[in-house]
Structure 1
Amino acid sequence: MSHSLFTLIENSLPKDRSRIILEAPDRTHGLRDWSADYLLSFAARLASLFAQRGLESGDRVALQVEKSPEALGVYLACLRGGFVFLPMNTAYRFDEVDYLVGNAEPSLIICDPSAEKPILEIAERNATPHVLTLDAEARGSLMDEAAQVTEIVPPVAVEADDLAAILYTSGTTGKPKGAMLSHRNLASNGLALRDGWRFTEKDVLLHALPIFHAHGLFVACHCALLAGARMIWLGKFDRDMVIRELPRATSFMGVPTFYTRLLAGDDFNRDLVAHMRLFTSGSAPLLAETFEEFRARTGQAILERYGMTETGMNTSNPYDGERRAGTVGFPLPGTEVRVMSDEGVELGVGEVGGLQVRGPNVFSGYWRMPEKSAEEFAEGGWFKTGDVAMIDADGYVHLVGRAKDLIISGGFNVYPKEIEELVDDMPEVLESAIVGVPHADFGEAGVAVIVLRPGASLDEKTVIARLKEKLANYKVPKRAFFVENLPRNTMGKVQKNLLRDEYRDACKN
């Protein structure tokens, strides 16, 4: 019996391989509609190409390209060939990519043609053997070489615990950590979501999420592929395009920002979505006001769930049953959750503590960080999520806070330490603190609170401009403020809770 996620997907696709399963209506070049047969054969050609290039099972393949059907083909090719898929955010700057490449040591980097020059420099710095280009118009050296492949190699046999992907998530140390995800992790979670959310061949998923992120790549794609459903593949979230395509869809997955933008216009109404069976939200907390406004406008309740890069999805509001605003529902089948005190005692109903999860969806650890990995697990295989939660009398999980001061902006994780180190490196700065504050569109946004060195001068515009040169835009604080001192407790720790309170209105319109 094969443990390959690729084989599971292949067996789940429609028996009629000519059936269209992927449409890309916003593309102007290349193949517009992909059949199941074309998707599988494209993945086979790419996997064979990588093997011909000398890649072996377990080698990493890094991808930093704009979203396209071909990019999804690269992911499936990695699953088929036993390679480890390493998606990189398209917003990452040179230093961020350089660190990831140096840490993961991929054998191949695939990039947009416009980024080839800096990627070649990064590849040379890190002794990466191969670089190929691919753009969203289905052009580039990858496509040229794939077209020349004549010998198709068979799928590689893998074990359930073999790595399928590494997704990097920033950490409190300031350096991103590579979460190692196995075929078992991804397959078990994909099947639980497919079944729990009732995906079938009859579904049409409107896919407007990025695929360098677990939400768009694993949650959305796996639900559709493992059900043999069709996807309408948008290059990005474009409100007008989503409104245009919704009448052809049955399901839509988004981050809270998507829903606030849809609700901003009167054209998003009950008639437009009357045929839809499922809207889900994740990657950031959904405000209760947004949930209630959506229900009042459409007559439908958004299904909110909870997950993270290291675990995939852990909990979900029920498909059948009450979807409660402000909660993330119940544990998914096969997944256990518990709330623990700081002393390691399991807490009861309504008590607040650290949320821990256990199940086949939970990753094995961080790439080449055994000590850090060990720290994140409690006895018995329980993963410490770093989130603060409570479970109510009906079993619904409520997230009430986040440890480690994580900011979630527009659905993306932002860890303050990484930004603080860059701000503190500025010659004018003595010290800084980054905190998250409410933002109507992004849910949360970062604010920099800065103490300058005596006699130094610096302004908000300069701080933000410098950070934009070093960081992806979603990590860059929206505002910067200058103070004489940062508030500290008796132990000398910065009291970020006080800063969050003081600047909570800083990003309001």
Structure 2
Amino acid sequence: MTNSLFMRIRSRFPADLSSVLIETPTGKTYSYGDADTYSAKIAGLLTERGAKKGDRVAVQVDKSPEALFLYLGCIRAGLVYLPLNTAYQAGELAYFMGNASPVIFVCQPHRAEEVKAIADAQGVKHVLTLGMEADGSLIDDMAPQAEDFPAVECADDDLAAILYTSGTTGKPKGAMMTQMNLWSNASTLEKLWGFERNDTLLHALPIFHTHGLFIACHCVMLSGSKMFFLPKFDRDQVMALLPRSTVMMGVPTFYVRLLSGGDFTADVSANMRLFISGSAPLLPETFTAFVQRTGKTLLERYGMTEMGMATSNPLDDERIVHTVGPALPDVDVRVCDEEGNVLGTDEIGVLEARGPNVFAGYWQMPEKTAEEFRSDGFFITGDIAMIDAKGYVHIVGRAKDLVISGGFNIYPKEIETLIDKMDGVVESAVIGVQHPDFGEAVVAVIVPEQKDTLSEDEVIGSIKSQLANFKVPKRVFFVNELPRNAMGKVQKNILREDYKALFTK
């Protein structure tokens, strides 16, 4: 048996291929046998269109069972899967096509003409379409293909996927994920989180992202279990399916929305053995409210595009609020200063990680890759963190979000935590804005529970009584909502842009 990622996943399928892999909200089911057959036919079609081992296949489609089978078809054929956020527009698609040089681009049917024009200009040979209702040229053209396709031999360090980071500064970077990167993380997490054959995952995440595609779907397929596959998070659908589910993976926003209604109770979630939260920081208030409402403790973990998961609060041991747990069994983490000197317990610095899950580098960016790795193989995450005496990692903020005011380093998370505890505050984001005297000034942007219930002076006065003066916001603004990306992360780069002229003379 080949050791390709596909064959490793395939070897974990149940012996009874009629076992259900996916159930949609309408009740339609897809078996493991369907996944096997679909992936074979898709691999055959892509190969027939000229795609060879190592070629890229870019995919920008809506979430559907067939979209998951497309991923499996790509890795079955030894192709490099390149998922793209459905929100990307023409200019962004042109960049990805030019940078990754895919041989095939699969898009939503309604964008076929637009994408074909971009593909032609960028030298992409074929454009196929795939819709949410098992429609499109991909489905039509794969029909005559054989129901079996011998998996292409792949080495552990052959690429399986390229994942473009959000690119908050400069152009997006393509993180190269190898066969072993994805397999090691999947097999570790499936064990660590206790996935078993009788589990049912409530899947409401997008699958153009590590969280929804590699973490969630791999855990299900490796355990031979089942998932409810929702096109997106719909509170009514999630509430209806919770009693029949055992595990849910979500971003903090999902759990805030569930808690927003009184119908989310311990009874509704009684069958659930595990709720996992990630992709954005979990507020302590959400953590506490969840325990009080359900009697269950959210499991927070930490990862990023370049390495999947690196740390996780434990399944059976204590889950500590405001931490993302210790390193995974096969991963090493440490906190260093800017020169790479390893810091001690409870000291704040930049988190670094090393392990079989850590990516092979950035596509066509050797200089950038070299900048991000230490000589001993540790990847510099750019996240500010500390590791406590128990080995639990505390994420303090992003390195790029560090505010330097009057020569002092200020970590926004410290200020946000205080603001978020204030009565009348839903959430906050603290940023640094260019200032003629201080270099940067601290600015707080707050989502209040109700309009006009808080004032700028009240917020500043409260923080001034708790923190050193150089950490106190110079200005406070109130907004209806904070800008977020598709995974629920607050986009501080947008806030910095919105308020950049605040102190200019």
TM-score of the aligned structures, taking structure 1 as reference length: 0.82
Aligned to 1:106: 102
Aligned to 1:239: 235
Paired residue secondary structure (1:495): strand
Instruction: Please say if residues 285 and 443 of structure 1, whose CA atoms lie closer than 8 Å, have aligned partners that are also in contact.
Output: no
Aligned to 1:495: 440
Aligned to 1:21: 21
Q: RCO greater where, 1 or 2, for CA within 8 Å and sep 6 or more?
A: 1
Structure 2 CA distance, aligned partners of 1:120 and 1:64?
Answer: 13
Structure 2 CA distance, aligned partners of 1:19 and 1:151?
Answer: 18
Alpha carbons of structure 1 residues 504 and 365: separation in structure 2 relative to 1, 3 Å:
farther
Structure 2 CA distance, aligned partners of 1:406 and 1:152?
Answer: 53
Residue 406 of structure 1 deviates from its aligned partner by 9.2
Give deviations 1:445-475, integer Å, cap 9, x for gaps. 79997xxxxxxxxxxxxxxxxxxxxxxxxxx
- Residue correspondence of structure 1 range 448-487 to structure 2 within 5 A: 486-487=434-435
Aligned to 2:5: 5
Q: Which runs of 5+ in 2 are unaligned?
A: 404-414, 446-472, 482-505
Structure 2 CA distance, aligned partners of 1:488 and 1:300?
Answer: 49
Structure 2 CA distance, aligned partners of 1:328 and 1:441?
Answer: 24
Alpha carbons of structure 1 residues 45 and 358: separation in structure 2 relative to 1, 3 Å:
same
Instruction: Please say if residues 401 and 432 of structure 2, whose CA atoms lie closer than 8 Å, have aligned partners that are also in contact.
Output: no
Structure 2 CA distance, aligned partners of 1:102 and 1:504?
Answer: 42
Structure 1 CA distance, aligned partners of 2:427 and 2:377?
Answer: 32
Instruction: Please say if residues 26 and 234 of structure 1, whose CA atoms lie closer than 8 Å, have aligned partners that are also in contact.
Output: no
In the alignment of these two chains, the number of paired residues is: 438
Q: Which AA in structure 2 matches 1:82?
A: G
- Residue correspondence of structure 1 range 161-200 to structure 2 within 5 A: 161-171=157-167, 173-200=169-196
Structure 2 CA distance, aligned partners of 1:447 and 1:343?
Answer: 25
Structure 2 CA distance, aligned partners of 1:42 and 1:445?
Answer: 45
Structure 2 CA distance, aligned partners of 1:502 and 1:182?
Answer: 46
Alpha carbons of structure 1 residues 354 and 446: separation in structure 2 relative to 1, 3 Å:
closer
Structure 2 CA distance, aligned partners of 1:145 and 1:503?
Answer: 58
Residue 137 of structure 1 deviates from its aligned partner by 0.6
Is the aligned partner of 1:506 residue 2:478? yes
Instruction: Please say if residues 257 and 443 of structure 1, whose CA atoms lie closer than 8 Å, have aligned partners that are also in contact.
Output: no
Is the aligned partner of 1:138 residue 2:83? no
Aligned to 2:39: 43
Residue 154 of structure 1 deviates from its aligned partner by 1.3
Segments ≥4 residues shifted beyond 4 Å: 436-449, 502-505
Residue 356 of structure 1 deviates from its aligned partner by 0.3
Aligned to 2:123: 127
Q: Which AA in structure 2 matches 1:253?
A: M
Alpha carbons of structure 1 residues 489 and 348: separation in structure 2 relative to 1, 3 Å:
farther
Structure 2 CA distance, aligned partners of 1:488 and 1:158?
Answer: 56
Alpha carbons of structure 1 residues 161 and 265: separation in structure 2 relative to 1, 3 Å:
same
- Residue correspondence of structure 1 range 89-104 to structure 2 within 5 A: 89-104=85-100
Residue 107 of structure 1 deviates from its aligned partner by 0.5
Paired residue secondary structure (2:306): coil
- Residue correspondence of structure 1 range 337-486 to structure 2 within 5 A: 337-405=333-401, 486=434
Structure 1 CA distance, aligned partners of 2:249 and 2:220?
Answer: 11
RMSD: 2.3
Residue 2 of structure 1 deviates from its aligned partner by 2.4
Aligned to 1:482: none
Instruction: Please say if residues 442 and 475 of structure 2, whose CA atoms lie closer than 8 Å, have aligned partners that are also in contact.
Output: no
Alpha carbons of structure 1 residues 47 and 324: separation in structure 2 relative to 1, 3 Å:
same
Structure 2 CA distance, aligned partners of 1:90 and 1:26?
Answer: 23
Paired residue secondary structure (1:226): helix
Is the aligned partner of 1:307 residue 2:303? yes
Paired residue secondary structure (1:328): coil
Give deviations 1:371-414, integer Å, cap 9, x for gaps. 0000000111000000010011111110011111399xxxxxxx
Alpha carbons of structure 1 residues 98 and 442: separation in structure 2 relative to 1, 3 Å:
farther
Paired residue secondary structure (1:380): coil
Aligned to 1:425: none
Give deviations 1:201-255, integer Å, cap 9, x for gaps. 1100010000001100111011111111101100000000000011111000000
Alpha carbons of structure 1 residues 151 and 215: separation in structure 2 relative to 1, 3 Å:
closer
Give deviations 1:424-451, integer Å, cap 9, x for gaps. xxxxxxxxxxxx98999996779997xx
Paired residue secondary structure (1:109): strand
Residue 174 of structure 1 deviates from its aligned partner by 1.6
Structure 2 CA distance, aligned partners of 1:294 and 1:22?
Answer: 28
Aligned to 2:461: none
Structure 2 CA distance, aligned partners of 1:182 and 1:402?
Answer: 26
Aligned to 2:277: 281
Q: Which runs of 5+ in 1 are unaligned?
A: 408-435, 450-485
Instruction: Please say if residues 56 and 102 of structure 2, whose CA atoms lie closer than 8 Å, have aligned partners that are also in contact.
Output: yes
Residue 91 of structure 1 deviates from its aligned partner by 0.8
Alpha carbons of structure 1 residues 442 and 404: separation in structure 2 relative to 1, 3 Å:
farther
- Residue correspondence of structure 1 range 71-86 to structure 2 within 5 A: 71-86=67-82
Alpha carbons of structure 1 residues 290 and 195: separation in structure 2 relative to 1, 3 Å:
same
Structure 2 CA distance, aligned partners of 1:151 and 1:318?
Answer: 41
Residue 3 of structure 1 deviates from its aligned partner by 2.4
Structure 2 CA distance, aligned partners of 1:316 and 1:131?
Answer: 39
- Residue correspondence of structure 1 range 321-332 to structure 2 within 5 A: 321-332=317-328
Q: Which AA in structure 1 matches 2:9?
A: I
Alpha carbons of structure 1 residues 505 and 294: separation in structure 2 relative to 1, 3 Å:
farther
Paired residue secondary structure (1:327): coil
Alpha carbons of structure 1 residues 446 and 70: separation in structure 2 relative to 1, 3 Å:
farther
Give deviations 1:301-342, integer Å, cap 9, x for gaps. 000000000011000001011101100001001100000012
Structure 2 CA distance, aligned partners of 1:443 and 1:91?
Answer: 25
Paired residue secondary structure (2:249): strand
Structure 2 CA distance, aligned partners of 1:41 and 1:185?
Answer: 25
Instruction: Please say if residues 261 and 441 of structure 1, whose CA atoms lie closer than 8 Å, have aligned partners that are also in contact.
Output: no
Instruction: Please say if residues 171 and 177 of structure 1, whose CA atoms lie closer than 8 Å, have aligned partners that are also in contact.
Output: yes
Identity across matched positions, percent? 53
Alpha carbons of structure 1 residues 17 and 496: separation in structure 2 relative to 1, 3 Å:
farther
Structure 2 CA distance, aligned partners of 1:151 and 1:67?
Answer: 23
Give deviations 1:18-57, integer Å, cap 9, x for gaps. 1111111248xxxx21111111110000000000111101
Alpha carbons of structure 1 residues 277 and 174: separation in structure 2 relative to 1, 3 Å:
same
Paired residue secondary structure (1:115): helix
Alpha carbons of structure 1 residues 495 and 231: separation in structure 2 relative to 1, 3 Å:
same
Structure 2 CA distance, aligned partners of 1:24 and 1:225?
Answer: 16
